[in-house]
Structures are given as structure tokens and as C-alpha cells.
Amino acid sequence: MTRAAQFTAAEAAFVLREPVRVVKKALDSGPVRPVLLRRAGASVRAIGWQDLFYLFAIKELRDELTPKARMAFYEALRQAPLERGREVRFGRFRVAVGDLVEEVETRTASLAELAEKVEFRGDGEPVLRGTDVEVHRIAALVDGGLSADDVLVDYPSLSRENVQVATAYAQAHPKAGRPFPRTTAKRALRGAGLDELDEVLDGAAAE
């Protein structure tokens, strides 16, 4: 993912390993400067790579910089491109940022790799590449408490990596609109003691 990319609050939260609400609060309080983007027909706030790096760096350096120093750090970041191994200088401070730059680059690359493992159906729904299984359907099952092994029982064509991709992608790209069920129909039938009907469904799926 290039440094020209823009990151939504959910994508930034994925990179920062923070809850989305924490990132949204940071966008509200500044000094980062979000812009409005059109995504899936809706306007969403997004930040550039430089602002994303600032949020990551402040998370790592929060105990070392005063609020005033953080503002000066932010302005210094905006004045020159970030490079691995360089220092950011502001006032009496010098902050080595090489390892921080490398970590953000690694995490944004992981975000880009997720996108390559997903494709979109004609209705715009993201599915796991090479399948017709909706990403957010699998993520909802995991969110509902199912383990990867549980999911694979009802989706034997998938792999453990597919499940991991689905949950990670859904974290970075939350589903808009009505959510998918947090259990499968077959599992709900088994839970209700309707094992015979479950067997009929299995037989129909195999035909």
C-alpha cells in the first residue's frame, strides 16, 4: 500500500491495533486532518499515510512527549517526507523514527495483502477470492463465538487461512447495513435438536 493511500477510521484502527472508537476520537480531537472520501456510495473520513504514522508514533511515544511537543512533532512530520533511519527534529527534541516507519509500512502492506485475497460479486458484496462465500458472513460467525474449526465444519471448502482473512478484512472494512447472522442455519437446527432435518440439508447440499 503506497504512501499516497487514504485510510478510513476502520483501516487506521487495523493498522494501529486500536478500537475504531479510539481512532475516531483522535480524528475529532486533532491535530490530524481527515478528508472526506466517497466509499460504497457514502462519505467517510480518511487520513493520509503521514497522519496515520503520527497516530502510531504518538501511541508509542505518548509518555515521552507533552501535548505541546506532540503538536510540534506533527508539524515537523508534515514539513518533510519520512524516510527509514531518519530523525524528526523539532525544538530541542530529536526522535529517531526509522523503526516506527518500518513497522507502519509492514502493517499497511498487510492491509493491502488482505485486499488481494478478496474479490467482489456483482452486487458489491466482498467474497473470499475463488469462492462465493461472503467475507462478512464468516466474520460474523467468528464474532458470534465460533472457532475456525467450528466454521470449517459448516464450510468444509474453506481453509483456516480463509477464516483468518475474512475476520481481518471485516475488521478493516466493517459491513454496512444489515449484518449477517452470528450462527449458521445448520448449527441452529442442531442446537434446536432438529438433527434429522440437518441430515436432509446435508443430503440436499451434496446433490
Alpha helix locations (H) across the chain? 9-16, 20-29, 49-61, 67-79, 98-116, 135-143, 148-154, 160-172, 185-191, 195-206
Task: Give the tens place of pLDDT for each residue, 88-120.
Answer: 988 888 888 889 999 999 999 999 999 999 999
> Cβ atoms within 10 A of the Cβ of 33, count?
12
Task: Give me the pLDDT at residue 200, please.
Answer: 41
Mean predicted confidence (pLDDT) in 75-99: 84
Task: Give me the pLDDT at residue 204, please.
Answer: 44
pLDDT at 20 over 90: yes
pTM: 0.83
End-to-end alpha-carbon separation of the chain, Å?
Answer: 43
Task: Give me the pLDDT at residue 182, please.
Answer: 85
Euclidean distance between CA atoms 140 and 128, whole angstroms? 14
Q: Which of 9, 11, 4 is nearest to 169 (CA)?
A: 11
Domain 6-115 falls under CATH 1.10.1660: yes
What one-character DSSP code corresponds to residue 177? S
Domain 117-206 falls under CATH 1.10.10.10: yes
Domain ranges of the chain: 6-115, 117-206
Which residues contact residue 30 at a Cβ distance below 8 angstroms, ignoring those fewer than 6 apart? none
